[in-house]
Amino acid sequence: MKPQYNRILLKVSGEALLGDKEFGIDAEVLKFIAQEIKEVSNLGVEIGIVIGGGNIFRGLSAAAQGIERVMADQMGMLATVINALALQSILEKMGITTRVQSAIQIAALAEPFIRRRAIRHLEKGRIVIFAAGTGSPYFTTDTAAALRAIEIEAKAIFKGTKVNGVYDADPQRVKNATKFDTITYLDVVQRRLKVMDSTAVTLCMENNLPIVVFNLTKRGNFKKVILGENVGTKVIGGDHEK
């Protein structure tokens, strides 16, 4: 089987790195995710990654505790840089050449985000990890993922989660929740399903960029979904749904 996409953007939440911890990075979980990424990279797929920072710091939570919102969001951006550097380190130990590009200037640690340079890295087979969100407050890393995917001309966004796809209710709380194989962008927004935030989904809808939601914690799932197996849920336009 051949990969269904030659260039993709993988969105990984910071919380995915927690494992059983309450805070920080679980080294075994990080290695597991890196191995899953390596297997897809070995198929010849060009991979960009946006990683969140919620395992270290969440801007909204900090703002609720009294830290000024813009400052809180900037602190959250720095948390994503920490996660990006950690993932880069593990990937490079596995022999995968990786670059971190940051939306905020942090030259001693990462390249600045430059679209054409990022695309060139991808064309050379390097994995590019996009850190610091969009570089602006009030935007989530979901929105950053949609934006970067569009900028690098990715064929789809793959959102790695802890569940098997998109359901009509929280499957961890509702026993009979129904999983969707495909669903439209508009349905996601109107039903307020927790796929990505509405700004990110709207960006994807306007640019006809599919979102594939799948369980990243199950070994081999990332490779399966890239190869076109019926894993997860695909969010697409209404005219392509059937």
Mean pLDDT of 203-229: 96
Residue 239: what pLDDT?
A: 53
Residue 129: what pLDDT?
A: 98
Residue 240: what pLDDT?
A: 44
Residue 236: what pLDDT?
A: 94
Helix extents (H) in 152-193: 185-191
Amino acid symbol at 12 = V
Look at residue 26 and tell me whether its pLDDT is greater than 80.
yes
Mean pLDDT of 191-209: 94
Look at residue 29 and tell me whether its pLDDT is greater than 60.
yes
Nearest Cα neighbor of 92 from 126, 120, 121, 117 is 126
Cβ-contact 77, 38 below 8 angstroms: no
Query: Pick the residue with more confidence: 172 or 185?
Result: 185
Tokens coding 170: 């929280």
In this structure, the number of other CB atoms found within 10 A of the CB of residue 179 comes to: 14
What's the whole-number average pLDDT of the chain? 93
Q: Which domains does the chain have, with CATH numbers?
A: 7-240 (3.40.1160.10)
Interatomic CA distance for residues 170 and 173, integer angstroms: 5
H helix and E strand count, the chain: 8, 11
Look at residue 241 and tell me whether its pLDDT is greater than 60.
no
Amino acid symbol at 45 = V
Interatomic CA distance for residues 5 and 102, integer angstroms: 25
Cβ-contact 180, 168 below 8 angstroms: yes
Look at residue 242 and tell me whether its pLDDT is greater than 50.
no
Task: For residue range 40-56, list pLDDT tens digits in order.
Answer: 999 999 999 999 999 99
Residue 58: what pLDDT?
A: 78
Give the single-character DSSP code of 131: E
The pairing of strands 179-180 and 182-184 is: unpaired
Interatomic CA distance for residues 130 and 73, integer angstroms: 16
Interatomic CA distance for residues 97 and 109, integer angstroms: 16
Query: Pick the residue with more confidence: 112 or 20?
Result: 112
Q: Which residues lie below 8 Å from residue 61, measured CB to CB, with a gap of 6+?
A: none
For residue 238, what are the CA distances in angstroms to 68, 88, 119, 138, 205?
A: 41, 37, 30, 29, 10
